[in-house]
Structure 1
Amino acid sequence: MMPKMDGFELCKAIKTDVDLSHIPVVLLTAKTSDDNKVKGYSLGANAYVEKPFNLEVLKAQLDTLIKNRKLLQEKFRNTIDIEPSEFSTTKVDDNLLTKILEIVESKLTDETLNVQFIASECGLSQANLNKKLKALTGKSTAAFIRSIRLKRAAKLLSTGRYSVSDVTYEVGFTDLKYFRNSFKEEFLVSPSDFKRNNTDEDSES
């Protein structure tokens, strides 16, 4: 038994704190009843390990948690239409990602949008916001903003109705060359080639 609070209370405290909710929680406990397992998972535990435990099994569970987080980060990199619930494991993180996306989308054409503004709007320090997004998406806050701009650019280009130049300014870039380089870094193809390869013929008519 831990001092001041038990494992369930600690798990709940972590998973409901916006600064900490992305941190995986493994409950290592002597409480082996099904009711306790259900309680642990309902509070947001990522794994429930009963005592006495096998160290190799515990290591395997931790490895799986790490791999799953990396898979989510990879999915974020490869997904154009972002759905926050697909990249978060708690309601707190889901709500935060939704809010950040709404902020970026609402100020897409504003090249002055920065980390400080988003952190202030979310009630987080810049450092904690950076850690949060890094854990959930694999990107720093600044890189996240740029990535969302570029994903939006990809969606616009795929309609076939906008030139690369038009899209550049539509998503908040002011330098066409920088936009082209950033787009190629994000999608491994130039914006012109992306438009040519992804435009639906029906959308062009």
Structure 2
Amino acid sequence: METEVNLTSEMEFDNYNKSVVLVVDDNEEILEFIMDDLTEKFDVLTAKNGVEALEILENEIVHLIISDVMMPEMDGFEFCRRIKSSIEYSHIPLILLTAKDTLESKIQGLELGADVYVEKPFSPEFLQVQACSLIANRNKIKTYFSSSPLLHMKTIAHSKTDEQFLERIQVIIDENISNPDLDVEHLASRMHMSRPTLYRKIKSISNLSPNELINISRLKKGAELLKQGAFKIYEISELIGYSSQTHFGRVFSKQFGMSPTEYANSK
């Protein structure tokens, strides 16, 4: 169903909410030490090892993971490997903490997909800056994607796994772009994922709900067709699943700051 919503405004509102950071370490004192420093800026969840952390990730939207390397049951390297190779979690930036200062251990962590490698002992201010920087950079990319008419969905990917996931989503939406009833249920079925899992993945990677991602994909397809200049605006409205040219024009203007006619003329 069609939803008239200013997606950029919703994203800006979301950015005022605290991001969620998951800290994984088997040392209680270090967990408390990191929590005390991060709780001012983030909502902080904790786990004592990789097994517990994976259980938390099944039920929570997490924007950043900070993990120790030396832990029982599942160490940080194996945890990092599972996160970065999983379609559900590969988008989450991960900071590895370790007392190992050898080049080999750093290379191992980075090869597994860790975004930042921080050696112990570390400054809490330094760790906080790293966390803020990773989240802020991701949010800038998400906002730019939402506000740019021709920017492809895969530009918000941060790994090959994410890129493949988004390309699959894009293909499904493109194949059903004229269907006004295309929704999250259809996406979840085609992606062979549960609705909650798909919602968490899309929300985390784009700051959009699945239905919002569908709607903005319609608008971007409309912008692409406007740029080509081969169709009338009312024809484009029908091709991308809008019931009327008026509705399409109103939603397009709210999202991109100009009417379809103004956009077409600018190109």
Global fold match (TM > 0.5)? yes
- Shift of the alpha carbon at 1:83? 5.3
Does 188-197 or 42-51 show the bigger shift?
Answer: 188-197
Q: Which has the higher helix share?
A: 1
Structure 1 partner of 2:96: 27
Percentage identity across paired residues of the two chains: 34
Structure 2 partner of 1:155: 224
Instruction: Give the 5 Å matches for 1:138-177.
Output: 138-177=207-246
Does the aligned pair in 2 maintain the 1:22–1:93 contact within 8 Å?
yes
Q: 1:117-170: per-residue Cα shift (whole Å, max 9, x none)?
A: 111211222222222222222211101111111111011112222111010001
Does the aligned pair in 1 maintain the 2:142–2:156 contact within 8 Å?
yes
**2:127 equivalent to 1:127:** no
Runs of 4+, deviation exceeding 6 Å: none
Q: Which has the higher strand share?
A: 2
| Partner Cα separation in structure 1 for residue 134 and residue 206 of structure 2 | 15
Structure 2 partner of 1:115: 184
Structure 2 partner of 1:88: 157
| Partner Cα separation in structure 2 for residue 71 and residue 123 of structure 1 | 30
- Structure 1 regions of 5+ residues with no counterpart? 199-205
**2:266 equivalent to 1:197:** yes
Q: What SS class does the counterpart of residue 182 from structure 2 fall into? A: coil
Does the aligned pair in 2 maintain the 1:72–1:136 contact within 8 Å?
no
| Partner Cα separation in structure 2 for residue 78 and residue 38 of structure 1 | 36
Q: 1:90-143: per-residue Cα shift (whole Å, max 9, x none)?
A: 222111101000111111112221111111211222222222222222211101
| Partner Cα separation in structure 1 for residue 90 and residue 97 of structure 2 | 18
| Partner Cα separation in structure 2 for residue 6 and residue 137 of structure 1 | 29
Does the aligned pair in 2 maintain the 1:111–1:172 contact within 8 Å?
yes
Q: 1:168-193: per-residue Cα shift (whole Å, max 9, x none)?
A: 00111123322111111111111122
- Shift of the alpha carbon at 1:30? 0.9
Aligned length: 197
- Shift of the alpha carbon at 1:46? 1.3
Does the aligned pair in 2 maintain the 1:158–1:195 contact within 8 Å?
yes
